[in-house]
Amino acid sequence: MSVSMQGGYTVVTPASDTRIVYVSSSQGSDSNNGLSASSPVRSIGAAKALLRDGVGDQMLLKKGDIWNEGLGYWKISGRSPDQPALIGAYGEGDRPEVRNSSGYAFGAGTPSNRLHDVIVQGVRMYAAQRDPNNPLYNKSVKASGVYLAGNIENLTFEDISVEYYTDNFVASTFYPYFKNLVIRKSNLSNAYSDWGSHSQGAYIEGVDGILLEGNTFDHNGWNEQIPSAGATIFNHNAYIQGISKNLVARGNIFANSSSHGLQARPGGIVEDNLFLNNPIGMSYGLVNGSGPLVPGGVTGKIANNVFVGGRNIGSQARGIGIELSNIKPGAGFMMEKNIFTQSYAGGVFAAINLSTNNNQNNGELAAGINDLTLKDNIVYKWQRGIWVDPALRSGGTGPYAVNNLNFLNNDFQEIKLTNVLYHGIAVKAGNETFAGNRYHLQNVGGAPVYMDGKGYDLGTWFNSYEATGQAVKANYVDPERDAKSYSATLGGAGTNEDFLAKARANRKDNFNPAYTASLANSYIRAGFVDRGDSSPAIPTDYVPPVSEVPPTIDTPVETPTPTPTPVEPTLPPPPPPPASNPTTETPTTSPGYHTVVGADGKIKVIWDNNAPVPTEPTPTEPVPEPEQNAPDVVYTQPSTPGTIVYAGGYWYIS
């Protein structure tokens, strides 16, 4: 057996002694032996009875079938990371679907026998009786999705869909020890509670090594159709407790949460995610309430994320992009190239909030905010740009300390309220740096900068604190871009709902990369190119780099597929051509492809080193084929939507 990655999905090749058990609710019988697709068993219980612990056996559910039961409490481990136990699917059609009306859709974790090396792939877990849009809806049903109780190592959930449970996904260390949890290319949506408990899309506590990659977390923690299931401050799309470690969240969509899109209490790497219409996009290092924070501060980075819009929590106004706190001294923390655009009309808060912890557990062990650089971020049409908590203090140590804080080359454009920067504390000489930031407000009647009880107009601010600052209106290509306009360019309804519905519907057998955070972000990011800026926050050909995951997170290596099937995303229209000459695109180390805006004004799709390059479908002229492992093959946008042609040594795709 071997485990590899192809097209972003895990491929498990059975070993010679692997037992594969087939299950079909429509064609199976528990009197069958279950060892072939032509002789499947019917029930999940019968299939599990045929699997062996510690061998690397596989249980495959027939696509399109429905079971009115969950997968049960799972105790069957694989042999090793290269020989995992697999719960997967076979055949054609929609994901196989399990519907539990009580208990768990999938449970695992015992105090005695450690569960290890398991992959759950391509299964839908659906609380149909909790879906108010389903004829089966029954208000009395209370069911949970995935529940993992700890004493677990190397557990991957990929291409799954978990919907309408009280909690869609919970991982904890009720039983000590949990290492390496992966949730990839999955949909976790519409969790809610109507009986007084909290509700999360994903709640993860005490896990060492967490990878959230390419998922859609949408509308978790509340349901406006049910009066007793309203939004609260306690429910979130993804809630990662501070006693977890080594978090990587990249390429996810976090949308329409009850409160936070993501609570990254343990810090970690957060990059290239799309935060759409959350009351609070994300918190990082911050712990308000009773949960533990990371003693001495968190480390990691926040880069290349896009924050769009916002909403209230019930009647409570919000509109926060990100909250940061408890940043470890000496870590050299970077928050760079994030975009905060078009906060909602009722929002009252800043895009970026540097805060103290209101922690009731171990708040005295917080580190304050240290060695933090905010660079090349763009804030556009938000209520305020930055808020610095008046409870902080410049210098020193401990929970309220601020040391070596730098604001470099950021754009604060079309700010809606009076203050671009609300800086609640005085600045000690040499402790903070402001340089190269560009400011423009909609409201010019007040003080653009407020510091320690004193208002500053921009001229006075530049003379006093930021000699290289600029009062200038940026000349962006198309800053009004958002998920709605992106949906329209893809031929959709031009709504957030259309974009999100298609993102939730993505699955391995019917995957459209256009409906991912990465390509949506590329589209929005391209609108913020300012060709008149000598040091732009977003360069013309900028490609977000992909960080290496911590060694704690064990992931297979991507391998090229020799004969892939090309996927045809519909790309957004190009911006106007620039006056300058094209520059060279910089390849990324991520598998597959990425998008850039070339200096010729065209949006290009770049197939990376060793990525599968589609073969020519219909050659239109005798031109050389691109080599399979050529450094980079450039795809540019044609004039006719929905076509793929190969000409002049390039692929042209819409």
pLDDT, mean of each 10-residue run, the chain (654 residues): 89 96 98 98 98 98 97 97 97 97 96 97 98 97 96 98 98 97 98 95 98 98 96 97 97 98 98 98 93 95 98 96 97 97 95 91 94 98 96 95 97 92 92 97 86 93 96 96 98 98 97 97 97 89 87 71 40 38 33 46 47 40 34 37 38 37
Instruction: Say which amino acid occupies 488.
Output: A
Burial class of residue 565, CB neighbours in 10 A (0-12, 13-18, 19+):
exposed
Count Cβ neighbours within 10 Å for each residue of 582-614 and write b for 16 or more, e otherwise: eeebebbebbbbbbbbbbebbbbbbbbeebbbb
CB 612 within 8 A of CB 560: yes
- d(C-alpha 374, C-alpha 222), whole Å: 33
- d(C-alpha 21, C-alpha 51), whole Å: 8
Q: Bridge partners of 60? A: 22, 88
Distances 600 to 301, 577, 579, 584 between C-alpha atoms, Å: 32, 5, 8, 11
**First-residue to last-residue Cα distance in the chain:** 39
pLDDT number for residue 556: 77
Distances 198 to 168, 192, 235 between C-alpha atoms, Å: 12, 8, 6
Angle at alpha carbon of residue 376, lines to 373 and 378, rounded to 5°? 115
125 CB-near residues (< 8 Å, 6+ apart): 70, 71, 97, 98, 100, 105, 106, 145, 146, 160, 161, 162, 163, 165
Return the half-sphere exposure (C-beta side, CA atoms, 13 A cut-off) of residue 424: 15
- d(C-alpha 277, C-alpha 305), whole Å: 14
- d(C-alpha 14, C-alpha 626), whole Å: 33
> Which residue shows structure tokens 């409201």?
443
pLDDT number for residue 559: 61
pTM for this one?
A: 0.86
Q: Where are the beta strands (DSSP E) in 377-466?
A: 378-380, 384-388, 393-394, 401-408, 411-415, 421-423, 432-435, 438-441, 449-451, 454-456
pLDDT number for residue 71: 97
Angle at alpha carbon of residue 516, lines to 511 and 517, rounded to 5°? 165
581 CB-near residues (< 8 Å, 6+ apart): 599
| Nearest CA among 71, 59, 67, 88 for reference residue 144 | 71
**β-strands 644-647, 650-653 pairing:** antiparallel
Distance of CA 235 to the CA centre of its chain: 17
CB 373 within 8 A of CB 408: yes
